[in-house]
Amino acid sequence: MAIPARRQDDNQERSIQKHIKDNFATPNAITVNYQDLTFDVSSLNLWVDITFLSHGAGRKGETMVQFDVYSRVRGKQPSGDRLMTTLKDAVQKLINAMHTNCIQVYDFADPTSPALISKAKLMVQNSGGTFREPESDQLLGLEDGVARRSLTYRLRMLEDASRASSYYD
Amino acid sequence: MWTGFTKQGGVDEGAYLVGDWSEIVARAGGENYQLGNCPEGVLEVSREYYMHEDTSLPRKVDHICPIRVGMKFSGVLEEIHRRNVSLLVGQTLANTDSYVYIGAMGLNYFYTLRGRRNRCSDNVAVEFCIWKCMSTNLFSLGGGDGAQGSPFEATGIDDTDGDYGGDATNPLGYIWSPAPET
């Protein structure tokens, strides 16, 4: 028997991507790569990669998601992001977007019109127990003239927080 | 067989509360005092009943009546400064003296205690209020690597008279909780 839609990894991944699209990418006009292998960065100065490191939310575990924010520094050219202010601003906007108690989970059986699943929520809580904050935030230096800052978030399903679930469908 | 069973397990997963009581405020003398971090805070409503059993065989309960009800909040106050120390040893909240004298006969100090936490799924607050409380904890300050706090316990007293905001229909305090989420 298949586990219910709200606990399926694919629905959770896409729900997180939807949250990022609605709250970060679209309002800030920042390009986000939602796990697309053909994603071409050659014409971009700023972009964000989403990688799912592990899945466990909805199975009494946790899901780790990593956001890599890239900004083109372009050597010492004045047009580049040498002082990394663009990178910092983008990361701040990402932190703002993830500064939420819960991310709504949708059923993507029809990817063009996701159906909201009532009461299915992923909560942002790092391993220290603090809500809405990232698990880690690291500046990973330069590679090919591109600066990268990497943030990870830990997500749990709200119903996993219940100590005793008498029935886990 | 009853046919009303429709849902096993959680009915409203969005109603789970996770984390601590995030804000605790004591009010005395028209002033609000933020008590600060209070991990492991527990709100307790105690109720006791008297049960009478008849003399049939086997004996069956034929009467139950409530005989006692109380409200209490306990936790750990982590911020140790003269106002909190004074509160923790049962003295005034409006303390402006760095010396807090222990052991002298003094007044009873009462305050209204309110606490709030947010429901994770929709950020709606859950609140409690105990109209008239007194600190009933012991004061104990340990040592160690983490932030060291003292146990805190506030016990509610009947405020039917309304000295601190209560009344006959609301004598001890209240718990405010939101409607189920959709």
pLDDT single digits (tens) B11-40 = 888 888 988 999 999 999 999 999 999 999
Count: domains in chain B: 1
CATH number at residue B48: 2.40.30
Q: Is it the case that residue B47 has pLDDT exceeding 80? A: yes
What pLDDT is attached to residue A33? 93
Q: What is the ipTM of this complex?
A: 0.74
- The verdict on B163 touching A (C-beta cutoff 8 Å) is no
A135 within a domain of the structure (yes/no) = yes
- In this predicted structure, what is the pLDDT of residue A165? 65
The answer to the question of residue A168 being in a domain is: no
pLDDT of residue B182: 55
Residue B8: inside a domain = no
Asked, for residue A143, whether it belongs to a domain, the answer is: yes
Does B7 reside within a domain? Answer: no
Q: Write out the residue range of the structural domain in which residue A25 sits.
A: 5-35+43-161
In sequence order, what E strands does A34-165 have? 46-54, 63-72, 102-107, 115-124, 136-143, 146-157
Interface test with B, best of A158, A167, A168 (most B CBs within 10 A): A158
CATH of the domain at A49: 3.30.2000
State the pTM of this model: 0.84
Query: A166 and B12 in contact by Cβ < 8 A?
Result: no
- In this prediction, residue A166 carries a pLDDT of 61
- Asked if the structure places residue B2 within a domain, the reply is no
Chain A residues touching B14 at Cβ < 8 A: 118-119, 121, 158
Most confident of A71-75, A80-84, B172-176: B172-176
Q: How many domains does chain A have?
A: 1
Average pLDDT value for residue range A47-59: 94
pLDDT for B125 beyond 70? yes
pLDDT computed for residue A101 by the predictor: 86
How many A/B residue pairs have CB atoms within 8 Å? 53
Cβ within 8 Å, pair A161-B18: yes
Asked whether residue B182 is domain-assigned, the answer is no
Which H or E run contains A32?
Answer: strand A31-33
Q: Which residue has the tokens 């859950």?
A: B126
Whether B150 maps to a domain, the answer reads yes
Between positions 116 and 155 of B, the ones with CB within 8 A of A are: 118, 120-123
In a domain, A126, yes or no: yes
CB contact under 8 A, B10 and A159: yes
Within-domain flag for A19: yes
Query: Which DSSP string do the residues of B73-84 spell out, in sequence order?
Result: EEEEE---SHHH
Distance of alpha carbon B90 from alpha carbon B36, whole angstroms: 17
Domain membership of residue B98 as a residue range: 13-176
> Tens digits of per-residue pLDDT, A94-150?
999 999 989 999 999 999 999 999 889 999 999 988 899 999 999 998 888 899 999
Q: How far is B154 from chain A (nearest CA, A)?
A: 26
Q: Is residue A14 part of a domain?
A: yes
